[in-house]
Amino acid sequence: MLTVIAATQNKHKLTELRSIMEKFGMEVISQAEAGLGDIDVVEDGDTFEANSFKKANEIMKLSGKIAVADDSGLAVDYLGGAPGVYSARYAGEHKSDLDNNNKLLAELDGIENRRASFVSVVTMVYPDGKVLAARGECPGKIIHAPRGDGGFGYDPLFVPDGFEKTFAEITAEEKNTVSHRAKALEKLEEMLNK
Ligand code: IMP
């Protein structure tokens, strides 16, 4: 079984990466389990691709093992793709998911076009320098008030196409079949099997 280190400090992302990659026969271990403690790679790139590669590459270099990273965010049509790579700190540094959600609702107040997509770029970096990267997108819409208490981030505000419920109202299993992260990882898996 292929064992990879997840280059993230986000417990929700770790759980999702784990359950999706498990289905593909891969074992995901956390930075802590790999003995790396709480290293937080600075995300200073302006694309998902750049940040995703940076996180995986740094963790691979520090551990000498295969690392996988997800860089993701919400791209809102009316906001020209914002918050995008800045999704985690949309309301400012050290603000909460709730602050970010409230800012998004304020920006879309009175706006009819609520189309948005979640985007994830997953990158796997090997100690020999091999790099695999894949992008997944999940289209949907932003509702007017949060619903549900599962998931994380913008999940309570996002209804994926084909669903009536938000990402925070569906089960983790359902989210892991349609999410941006699942789609990116499915593509990555195809690359691994080529
Ligand atoms: P980063 O990849 O560490 O830059 O953070 C991505 C940010 O995008 C998260 O902190 C969330 O705010 C948002 N995000 C990414 N994926 C999801 C998701 O599956 N659900 C809800 N929010 C997400």
Per-residue pLDDT of the chain (194 residues; tens, 9 = 90+): 899 999 999 999 999 999 999 999 999 999 999 999 788 888 999 999 999 999 999 999 999 999 999 999 999 999 999 999 999 999 999 999 999 999 999 999 999 999 999 999 999 999 999 999 999 999 999 999 999 999 999 999 999 999 999 999 999 999 999 999 999 999 999 999 88
* Ligand 1 centroid distance, CA of 67 (Å): 19
Phi-psi region of 11 (alpha: psi -120 to 50; beta: other; left: phi over 0): alpha
Active site residues: 71
DSSP readout, 81-98? T-BGGGGGGTT-TT--HH
Q: Which atom from ligand 1 is nearest to the alpha carbon of 181? A: 19
Residue where the block lists tokens 């694309």: 47
Q: For domain 2-192, is the CATH number 3.40.920.10? A: no
The Å distance, Cα 77 to ligand 1 centre, comes to 17
Could you tell me the pTM of the whole model? 0.97
Contact 147, 169 (CB under 8 A): yes
Residue of 55, 152, 159, 171 best suited for mutating to test ligand 1, as the one with most atoms within 8 Å of CB: 152
